[in-house]
Amino acid sequence: MNRCTIIMAVLFLAGVLPLNGCATSSAPPREPVEGRVLEQGTNRPIPGAIVIARWRGHMPVFPADGQSVCYHVESATTDEEGRYRFPVFDEEPRHRRIRYKYIQVDAYQPGYEWSGASEGGKVQYLAPFIGGREERLKYLARLSGVVGCYGADNEKPLVPVYKTLYEEARSIATMDKDKELLQFIRRRALYAWSRPPRELTAREIEQAIKNDPYFREHFP
């Protein structure tokens, strides 16, 4: 078990990361990133699952030990055989000091939860979610909080991810307190789309969504 696997397992058990599959190397492979998403226990392919690939690395910050950063992100959906594929990305990050680069792959499907990974993260396993409504909303909240890629020049590939998360959360958000989660996902989607130069107020977010036809339709 490599260092990345150990770290991600600890975060998963702590509830920080709801799902993850990763592999590390001195540099990401200069070839397409591809794999499959399967159902845990049956090994049946899961078509239509959302897969997020994030190009990450470590950036030294003096005098501290540094921090983990994400400098590129892509999203895709699986085909009928549960396969996904991302094109080659070999551009250098803006921050030239980023080291220990690797690609982190996450998979999400409404009604499922992450269950494990194999083949260096190329095969992601999802299992049917067996918890209740509140447990599911907590899972969606954690996932919404970890799929971002703040160091990327463009986070727009995450907008469809937030859209699906929002739709699932909205379908089970029956309590007034659940509205906070819906607002959180909408905020993340809007920030990924437009990258506002400052933190927006709740009123400004509502106005921005009303002014954009796409957001007005998909994030009501």
Domains of the chain plus CATH, in order, are 3-218 (2.60.40.1120)
Confidence of residue 63 (pLDDT cuts 50, 70, 90): low
CA distance 22 to 122: 8
How far are the Cα atoms of 157, 178, 179 from residue 82, in angstroms, in the given order?
A: 20, 32, 33
Q: What is the pTM of this model?
A: 0.81
Confidence of residue 96 (pLDDT cuts 50, 70, 90): low
CA distance 32 to 24: 15
β-pair partners for 45: 38
Average pLDDT over residues 208-214: 89
Helix (H, G, I), strand (E, B) or coil at 157: helix
Average pLDDT over residues 16-22: 46
Name the percent of the chain lying above pLDDT 90: 53
**According to the model, what pLDDT value does residue 2 have?**
41
Average pLDDT over residues 113-135: 94
**According to the model, what pLDDT value does residue 22 have?**
43
Asked if 17 and 50 touch (Cβ cutoff 8 Å), the reply is no
**According to the model, what pLDDT value does residue 150 have?**
87
CA distance 57 to 152: 12
Regarding beta strands 21-24 and 83-86, do their DSSP bridges make them parallel or antiparallel, or are they unpaired?
unpaired
How far are the Cα atoms of 30, 121, 159 from residue 163, in angstroms, in the given order?
A: 30, 25, 6
Assess whether pLDDT exceeds 60 at residue 169: yes
- Closest to 149 measured CA to CA, from 66, 56, 67, 11: 56
Average pLDDT over residues 196-207: 82
How does the average pLDDT of the chain come out, rounded?
A: 84
Assess whether pLDDT exceeds 70 at residue 1: no
**According to the model, what pLDDT value does residue 45 have?**
98
Cα within 13 Å of Cα(152), Cβ side: 21
- Cα distance between the two ends of the chain: 44
